[in-house]
Structure 1
Amino acid sequence: MASGLLTTLARLTFGNRASQIYLGLVAVTTAFVTIDTLFVDHQDASFAGVWLFFLAAPTIFVFFIGGELLGGTFADSAAFVYPALVLSVLIQAAALGGFVRLFRDRPGRPSRPREA
């Protein structure tokens, strides 16, 4: 039973075009932020990392609020921020998959036979 739930979650998260495009956009942005952080010299701080948080919004803010409730110093640590960022992206990819499934399997929509 648990493997069926995990399979369903994996299909929702990775098994549709909308989620794949979203995760690809996150991967490209992560590569951009990594290259900008490691190899580009800036006079001031770079705001490249903000793009990752824009892509992870609004669920990342739920994690930040929860982290502040646990303790401010823990919520500011990298041990909290990076896993929260990854989890929020995966939750949003699963939500996109759920919306795709919801709109694809609507009642009242005429079904088309799939071509082989």
Structure 2
Amino acid sequence: MNDLMKNARLRTLARLTFGNTASRVYLGLVVAVALFVTVDTLFVAHEDASFAGVWLFFLAAPTVFVFFVGTSLAGAETGGPAWFVYLGLIVSVLVQACALGWFSRLLRGVGHGRSTRPQGA
């Protein structure tokens, strides 16, 4: 029974993160910007540094900054190692996609006049 509950929770989180229009649009925008940043970094010559990567941080804000504050509190240098920055970006984007899905579901529930009481109450 415990495994069934864990599976149901994981399915719910996956549905909230990937299974609605708001989350999909957000994740699609993040993928498009990540592709732009990759192409700009690898194939475009710049005299100075490119600020294309800043757009990823704008899309991942504000949750990405929790990772940076956490690393600075742990005593690491600013931003930490590259793998930690990438991990922070990925987790931040997924958390925000899940939050968008939850908010979207909340708005759909309010818009359809659903009751906030549990079933059978």
TM-score by length of structure 1 reads 0.89
Q: Which runs of 5+ in 1 are unaligned?
A: 111-116
Q: Which residue of 2 aligns with 1:98?
A: 102
- Please provide the CA RMSD for this pair: 1.6
Measured in 2, the distance between the counterparts of 1:107 and 1:43 equals 52
User: Pick from 39, 51, 55: which aligns with 1:35?
Assistant: 39
Q: CA deviation at 1:109?
A: 2.2
**Per-residue deviation, residues 45-97 of structure 1 (Å, max 9, x unmatched):** 00000000000000001111111112223842112100000000000000000
TM-score by length of structure 2 reads 0.86
SS of the residue 1:45 aligns to: coil
Identity of aligned residues (%): 61
What number of residue pairs does the alignment pair up? 110
Measured in 2, the distance between the counterparts of 1:17 and 1:67 equals 33
